[in-house]
């Protein structure tokens, strides 16, 4: 039976590759590298650099594939609009995955998908592969290899622990932060997938924000401070960086003021 490895390759620094991930790369006959278009070609280049640096298997080959662009939901529309666009997008990617698995991996071969960060945290590769499995057209066994996340890289770069003593940690998205604000019972709130600087919608300008982009890479940018003091600076810096590189990956941590700080 075909075997699929879903390998977390970290938040952008090749030095974050684990021994297990490197072993997985060398186990695979085929390495699948997604291409998200010219604006994000640097992301594919990093995957290529990782393969150049760590893959010693002479029989290994690379197969690059285009990732379809997700349709944007209606601006500020209802949740069903968002979920529908994501569902359609995942279905399109599942068709691509199915063809790649069936066409590029021998019946007893091994293939690997290189996933940014960690496959089990805010990534859809595993859900999409489950769609492929349920279709029943190609059979495969699955192994997941965890990677260093942007959340871990953020905390390390800011030289801080994610939690405060006795407090909880909440992981959410920019969309939900805009809709719900900061949860009263969350000591620390990690925000992912925020393309619109949702932190600026918060009423509590005394909240503390620790923000980072391109974490763990030479282009890393870090800003932290009281939201009312640095919110506009983060938004301006983020937009300048996005225009310069054509893409941006960032995340941040929010906290209400506490004596622990």
Q: Tell me the per-residue pLDDT of 88-142, one tens digit each, with 9 for 90 and over.
A: 999 999 999 999 999 999 989 999 999 999 999 989 999 999 999 999 999 999 9
Q: Tell me the per-residue pLDDT of 147-206, one tens digit each, with 9 for 90 and over.
A: 999 999 999 999 999 998 888 999 999 999 999 999 988 899 999 999 999 999 999 999
Q: Residue 117 in contact with residue 17, Cβ under 8 Å?
A: no
Across 28-41, average pLDDT: 83
* pTM score: 0.89
User: What is the CA 82 to chain-centroid distance, rounded?
Assistant: 18
Q: Residue 169 in contact with residue 255, Cβ under 8 Å?
A: no
Q: Which range, of 25-34, 72-81, 171-180, averages the lowest pLDDT?
A: 72-81
Tell me the CA distances in angstroms from 171 to 5, 40, 54, one per residue in order. 26, 26, 32
pLDDT score recorded for residue 119: 96
Domains, the chain = 2-145 (3.40.1010.10), 150-255 (3.30.950.10)
Residue-averaged pLDDT of the chain: 91
Across 213-226, average pLDDT: 95
Rounded distance between C-alpha atoms, residue 62 and residue 79, angstroms: 38
Rounded distance between C-alpha atoms, residue 101 and residue 223, angstroms: 42
Residue in 10, 8, 11 with CA at minimum distance from that of residue 220: 11
pLDDT score recorded for residue 38: 64
């Amino acid at each position: 039976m075909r075997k699929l490895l879903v390998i977390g390759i970290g938040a952008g620094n090749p030095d974050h590759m684990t021994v297990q991930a490197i072993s997985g790369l060398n186990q695979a006959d085929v390495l699948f590298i997604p291409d998200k278009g010219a604006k994000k070609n640097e992301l594919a280049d990093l995957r290529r650099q990782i393969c150049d640096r760590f893959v010693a298997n002479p029989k290994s080959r690379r197969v690059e594939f285009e990732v379809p662009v997700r349709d944007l939901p209606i601006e500020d529309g209802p949740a069903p609009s968002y979920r529908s666009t994501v569902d359609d997008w995942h279905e399109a990617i599942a068709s691509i995955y199915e063809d790649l698995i069936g066409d590029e991996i021998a019946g007893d071969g091994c293939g690997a998908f290189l996933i940014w960060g960690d496959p089990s945290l805010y990534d859809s590769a595993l859900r999409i592969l489950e769609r492929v499995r349920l279709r029943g057209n190609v059979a495969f066994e699955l192994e997941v290899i965890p990677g260093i996340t942007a959340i871990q890289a953020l905390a390390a770069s800011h030289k801080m622990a994610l939690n405060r003593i006795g407090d909880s940690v909440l992981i959410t998205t920019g969309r939900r932060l805009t809709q719900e604000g900061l949860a009263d019972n969350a000591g620390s709130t990690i925000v992912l997938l925020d393309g619109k600087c949702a932190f600026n919608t918060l009423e509590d300008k005394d909240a503390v924000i620790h923000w980072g982009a391109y974490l763990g890479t030479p282009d890393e940018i870090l800003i932290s401070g009281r939201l009312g003091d640095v919110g506009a600076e983060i938004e301006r810096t983020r937009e300048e960086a996005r225009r310069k590189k054509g893409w941006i990956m960032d995340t941040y941590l929010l906290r209400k003021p506490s004596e622990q700080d």
